[in-house]
Amino acid sequence: SRPAGPLPIQRLHESLINRIAAGEIIHRPASALKELLENSLDAKATSIRVTVKEGGMKLLQIQDNGCGIRKSDLPILAERFTTSKLKSFSDLSRLTTYGFRGEALASMSHVAHMSVVTKTKSDSCAWKAYYSEGVLIAPKAGQTPDPKPCAGNDGTTITIEDMFYNTPTRLSALRGSSEEYARILDVMTKYAVHNPKVSFLCKKAGSPSPELSTSPSSDISHAIRLLYGHAIGKELLNVKVSSSRAGSPSNQPDSPVDGLDDPERWSAEAYCTGANYQAKKTVFLLFINHRLVESSSIKRAIESVYSGVLPKGASPFVYLSIKIDPRSVDVNVHPTKREVIFLNEEVITERISDAIQQKLVGQSHSRVFEYQT
């Protein structure tokens, strides 16, 4: 039994610290996939192919055609806080990449078996490396841990196997493989909508046909139609709104904040269903500076707009992309970067809600008008 009085404070073992830290970032296969997708997008990939076994718990493999990783960087690739994306603290306020902390691959190497095959354009062959607990390891007894030359295309393939093999409580907290696979598809579907110029493919290992497959020619509304179906696709309204400041042109979603020295400048674009579409639950895709995030306050504000338009119990589909000056956003508030904090959130939310409201009202007017003529 526990003695009275305090127990001594002891330093945790390094490997335990790393495993605990990893658990904050990698919750389940879908959170690992989100990090891997973001790495591929950061590497400017135009094709991302994912293969999954047992909901990603047995195998999660992602192949991209991005810039690849230099062979000389492979020894520190899976170390914590090693990154090619951030050099100084002030870079955090100019971030144009998803990654910045160098924790994702490190985390995965602490809770799963991880291997990497990568080739840059200037490499004459690809290199394969195996990792465990942050460092290169030999794949088999008697071999060295050094990366081995192999055949491969330009780009990077990362293979994560036996996720949480060494953290049994985390493993037992996961749902069945079909639910975990559904979450993987959900994350991929959302990134595929937001990145219509990139082709995404997701399939189960050994299965002949993918569950998700996009081709890189469409725009966001096409991608929504393709991935969420025609019933939503044909009811989509496009809403654009931005900070309108003297001297700065508004409604420029594709040249939003760069170049103009105003940290309070922002723009937003939504594709959302009109009064004719009714779902049981709101489907809400929110991107802030291209990052897939959650915001219960923005969601609530938009739902309350729809509650004035849709019958009770009916919900919309809403895709919303907000672009804000990176200086006004703090992305470093949540271990999985699932939430962000940004300047003027209430004002921006209100302006977006109002714009959606106007579009919905305008839509119902035009219906009345059509009816009268």
List interacting residues with Mg ion (CB under 5 A).
Answer: 39, 99, 104
Q: Is 31 in the site for ligand ADP (CB under 6 A)?
A: no
Nearest CA among 314, 302, 240 for reference residue 277: 314
Q: Is 104 in the site for ligand ADP (CB under 6 A)?
A: yes
Min separation Cβ 42 and ligand ADP, Å: 6
Site for ligand ADP in 58-77 (CB under 6 A): 64, 66-69, 77
Site for ligand ADP in 39-58 (CB under 6 A): 39-40, 43
Question: Which run of H or E residues covers position 61?
Answer: strand 59-64
Min separation Cβ 338 and ligand ADP, Å: 15
Closer Cβ to Mg ion, 106 or 288, answer by number: 106
Question: Which run of H or E residues covers position 172?
Answer: helix 168-173
Min separation Cβ 368 and ligand ADP, Å: 51
Closer Cβ to ligand ADP, 69 or 320, answer by number: 69
- Which residue stretch of 34-42, 145-153, 161-169, 351-359 sits at the interface with ligand ADP (rule: CB under 6 A)? 34-42
Position of minimal CB gap to ligand ADP: 99
Min separation Cβ 78 and ligand ADP, Å: 7
Min separation Cβ 92 and ligand ADP, Å: 12
User: How far apart are alpha carbons 11 and 17 in whole angstroms?
Assistant: 9
Q: Is 18 in the site for ligand ADP (CB under 6 A)?
A: no
According to CB under 6 A, which one of 29, 55, 102, 326 is a site residue for ligand ADP?
A: 102
Residues touching ligand ADP, count (CB under 6 A): 22
> What is the full DSSP assignment across 195-234?
-TTSEEEEEETT-SS-SEE--TT--HHHHHHHHH-HHHHT
Nearest CA among 180, 49, 24 for reference residue 111: 24
According to CB under 6 A, which one of 33, 52, 74, 105 is a site residue for ligand ADP?
A: 105
Q: Is 101 in the site for ligand ADP (CB under 6 A)?
A: yes
Min separation Cβ 36 and Mg ion, Å: 8
Min separation Cβ 131 and ligand ADP, Å: 11
Contacts of 120 (CB under 8 A, 6+ apart): 67, 68, 69, 70, 154
Min separation Cβ 39 and Mg ion, Å: 4
Q: Is 337 in the site for ligand ADP (CB under 6 A)?
A: no
| Rounded-to-10 torsion of CA 215, 220, 222, 224 | 100
CB-based contact 25:335 (threshold 8 Å): yes
How many CA atoms lie within 13 Å of 42's alpha carbon, on the beta-carbon side? 19
The DSSP secondary-structure symbol of 93 reads G
Q: Which does 147 bind (CB under 5 to 8 A by kind): ligand ADP, Mg ion, none?
A: none
Contacts of 216 (CB under 8 A, 6+ apart): 46, 47, 196, 197, 198, 199
Q: Is 195 in the site for ligand ADP (CB under 6 A)?
A: no
Min separation Cβ 115 and Mg ion, Å: 17
User: How far apart are alpha carbons 201 and 46 in whole angstroms?
Assistant: 11
Closer Cβ to ligand ADP, 97 or 307, answer by number: 97
Q: Which does 340 bind (CB under 5 to 8 A by kind): Mg ion, ligand ADP, none?
A: none
Q: Is 159 in the site for ligand ADP (CB under 6 A)?
A: no
Q: Is 336 in the site for ligand ADP (CB under 6 A)?
A: no
**What is the β-pairing status of strands 155-161 and 291-292?**
unpaired
166-183 in b/e form (b: 16+ CB < 10 A) is: bbeebeeebeebeebbeb
User: How far apart are alpha carbons 233 and 254 in whole angstroms?
Assistant: 22
What is the binding site for ligand ADP (CB under 6 A)? 35, 39-40, 43, 64, 66-69, 77, 83-85, 99-106, 156
